[in-house]
Structures are given as structure tokens and as C-alpha cells.
Chain A
Amino acid sequence: AQRVTQPEKLLSVFKGAPVELKCNYSYSGSPELFWYVQYSRQRLQLLLRHISRESIKGFTADLNKGETSFHLKKPFAQEEDSAMYYCALSGGDDMRFGAGTRLTVKP
């Protein structure tokens, strides 16, 4: 069965500091991995997916199959990055989510 683990429920950094949100997964096949974000009073939305290998709002994530990880990184955090972040894995038809990490960026 597929499983997504986000070990940090809360993460707090100062503006301008680097940030890394951890995500580990367990899946026997070839996974499709995503990061979704939920800003205050907004809908959950896609931030990025590993297949695209893109940078969105300064965030990047690299799939490391050896370590079964898909950590989300940003070199310089901004206050507007404060939100709830979810790592997700699609093993075919369904999509499973981790427990989420609430990121707070302090001024």
C-alpha cells in the first residue's frame, strides 16, 4: 500500500531563511508525486509535481528514489509562503496525502 509521511507538523522560519519541508513515501511501483498548498481562506491547489521539474514561487522539489523522498525547498522564504503544505502520491487511480506541514514565516 502507498504511504506518504511528512514528519513535521509545524515549521517556523524567519523571512529570508531557507526552508525545507520533508516528504517521504512508500510505494512499490513508479510514483507520481505532488506538493499541494492551502493558503488561508483559499482552496487547496497544486504547487508543483515532480514530472514537471519546474520551480513555482521559488519552490523546487527533487524526487530521490533511493531515499524515497520528495522534499520541498526554497532558498529564501517569504511571509506570503505561510500556509499548509501537503505532499501527495498518485499510484494510479487514487491520490493519497501526507499529514501536512504548517509553515509559518516570521518577519
Chain B
Amino acid sequence: NAGVTQTPKFRILKIGQSMTLQCTQDMNHNYMYWYRQDPGMGLKLIYYSVGAGITDKGEVPNGYNVSRSTTEDFPLRLELAAPSQTSVYFCASRLGQGNEKLFFGSGTQLSVL
């Protein structure tokens, strides 16, 4: 049982480049999330989705885009990478809202130079 899978694990981008962080889950979870983790700042919610075709902004959506065409996949797109987007990115999913727990991926460490 793979759970939540993120690719790539590491990536270095040049300023202005674009890339997509992939996230897939095999637990048939409706809810999926993208967070960024910065030292001393905790996890900040970028975007989330409550089902295929539905996405919503979190706390820090600027500079990112998402799509949810299937239940399994929730890719995060960076269009014009900036140094401020250097961070560790986590994808997570859960079955429903409220007191349902999150299952996390292993993270993507991104550096923008």
C-alpha cells in the first residue's frame, strides 16, 4: 500500500523556470492538500481540493496553481520560480473533513537559485 507518493524528492530550479510537483494517492481519499514547510514558520497551506474538479486557495497560493482531474492525482505547478519558493513541499490526503486525519507524502525539497 503506497499511500501518498510525491515526485521528485529533490529539485533545483533556476529563477523563472517552471515545474510541476506530482502527488498521487491510492487510498481513494476525496481531500488532498499541498503545504510548504519553512524553518520557524511551520506548514503553510497552499491549495487544497475536496474532490475531482474542485480546488480552493489556502494561506499562501500566490505563485502556484493546481488541478484535480482525478481522485488520485493533485499536481502543484510553479509557473515562474522565485527564490522565495525555496522550501520543502508536502502533499497530504484524508478521507473526509473535520476530525479525519491527514496522510502525508515524503516531501519534495525544492531550491530556486
Contacts and interface: CB of A to CB of B under 8 A. Distances in A.
Contact of B40 (A44, A94, A97, A99): A99
A44 B93 CA distance: 12
Interface of A: 6, 9, 32, 34, 36, 43-46, 49, 51, 86, 88, 90, 92-100
A56 to B, nearest CB: 12
B97 interface: yes
A96 to B, nearest CB: 6
A51 B56 CA distance: 26
A98 B59 CA distance: 12
A43 B42 contact: no
B106 interface: yes
Interface in B30-46: 31, 33, 35, 40-45
Contacts, number: 56
Interface string B38-79: 001111110010100000101100000000000000000000
A90 B98 contact: yes
Given A93-B56, A94-B58, A51 B42 contact: no
A89 B41 CA distance: 16
A44 B45 contact: no
B104 A97 contact: no
Contact of B43 (A49, A92, A97): A97
Given A44-B90, A99-B41, A94 B105 contact: no
